[in-house]
Amino acid sequence: MIAAQAKLVYHLNKYYNEKCQSRKAAISKTIREVCKVVSDVLKEVEVQEPRFISSLSEMDNRFEGLEVISPTEFEVVLYLNQMGVFNFVDDGSLPGCAVLKLSDGRKRSMSLWVEFITASGYLSARKIRSRFQTLVAQAVDKCSYRDVVKMVADTSEVKLRIRDRYVVQITPAFKCTGIWPRSAAHWPLPHIPWPGPNRVAEVKAEGFNLLSKECYSLNGKQSSAESDAWVLQFAEAENRLLLGGCRKKCLSVLKALRDRHLELPGQPLNNYHMKTLVSYECEKHPRESDWDENCLGDRLNGILLQLISCLQCRRCPHYFLPNLDLFQGKPHSSLENAAKQTWRLAREILTNPKSLEKL
């Protein structure tokens, strides 16, 4: 048993050093190319409208606010200033979303975003995005990369297609630190020892973002109140959770396997599903020793089996907001197809670790 486990870990490490590292290097190169174009567009936006200040900056070889959705798809979060005059209201009526309401006694005119406040005093995510979309469309025509970048049509999101190869979504957002949303108040679960109190404090200190984008849970049927809502996002908190042991290595292997074998019609699976399942696996295996390098094979198998279970049940709960289903709106046939493909992959890796050389 130990010999089989060691063999699997050996082949997984080889896979990580060859396939995952080359994937990372290729994506880093793409990110540099993409960020040059996005920065140029945002500079142009800022000239027209100084309230939209580009927050895309490079720190320690990574770009602040950039998320990799897949090797050809990215999201850049544009942090807006001055949320101060609004109260954050998170009553759970819209899973995964919250609203920003003008604080009592505050005048509209005190807000930098005065014309985006609705009659009932809410700062409208949709109105801000709509204005931003118009500005980006104008900037694309003026910027120095206008020959290689164009707006993606037929969406309320702000998406750019670059060199006909990459898609970048630019999402206006507010950064919320020093508070933790009520809809995530159950976390951490009292009966689970992971993460320890120090890590919990660090994670909560990272806070969360409020994004202006279409809600998962609304699935196209938006009333005006709902389209004014902001989407909760926990990228920095999630990254902090995955520090230590072989957690990040495990996620890298899962991402590479997804890119190579689970990029399927209907796009049932993305990197975020993988990240979510690694967090759940950490709860199931709370001891640090469960994430030693020699446990990499066991953890990977556990996550692949959990993924198959989620696909078969057609439900993948968000880690911090379990009422939010990350498979919402995905075609059932594509989830079934993904379950079959994941099962083939898991069986292949488990029964013949050497097959990772060809996967």
- Residue 15: exposure state from Cβ atoms within 10 A (0-12, 13-18, ≥19): buried
- What are the residue ranges of helices labelled H in the chain? 2-15, 21-48, 125-142, 197-206, 224-227, 235-241, 247-261, 271-284, 296-313, 332-351
Return the higher-pLDDT residue of 104 and 343: 343
**Measured in whole angstroms, how far is the alpha carbon of residue 37 from the centre of its chain?**
21
Residue 119: count other Cβ atoms within 10 Å of its Cβ.
Answer: 5
Q: What is the mean pLDDT of residues 118-124?
A: 92
Q: What is the mean pLDDT of residues 34-39?
A: 95
Residue 317: count other Cβ atoms within 10 Å of its Cβ.
Answer: 15
pLDDT at 283 over 80: yes
246 secondary structure, DSSP code: T
pLDDT at 83 over 90: no
Return the higher-pLDDT residue of 81 and 279: 279
Choice among 78-92, 263-277, 326-340 with the minimum mean pLDDT: 78-92
HEC profile for 158-173?
CEEEECCCEEEEEEEE
Rounded to the nearest 5 percent, the helix, strand and coil shares of the chain are 50, 15, 35
| The one-letter amino acid at 238 | E
Confidence of residue 4 (pLDDT cuts 50, 70, 90): confident
Whole-prediction pTM: 0.93
329 vs 220: CA distance, rounded Å = 9
Tokens of 89: 């209201």
Q: What is the mean pLDDT of residues 301-324?
A: 97
pLDDT at 222 over 60: no
Confidence of residue 225 (pLDDT cuts 50, 70, 90): low
Task: Sort strands 73-79 and 166-176 into parallel, antiparallel or unpaired.
Answer: parallel
For residue 15, what pLDDT is reported?
97
For residue 178, what pLDDT is reported?
84
The torsion angles phi and psi of 238, rounded to 5 degrees, stand at: -65, -40
Confidence of residue 216 (pLDDT cuts 50, 70, 90): low
pLDDT at 221 over 60: no
Confidence of residue 307 (pLDDT cuts 50, 70, 90): very high
Q: What is the mean pLDDT of residues 30-42?
A: 95
112 vs 267: CA distance, rounded Å = 39
Q: What is the mean pLDDT of the chain?
A: 92
For residue 219, what pLDDT is reported?
54
Tokens of 7: 């063999």
Give the percent of the chain with pLDDT over 70: 96
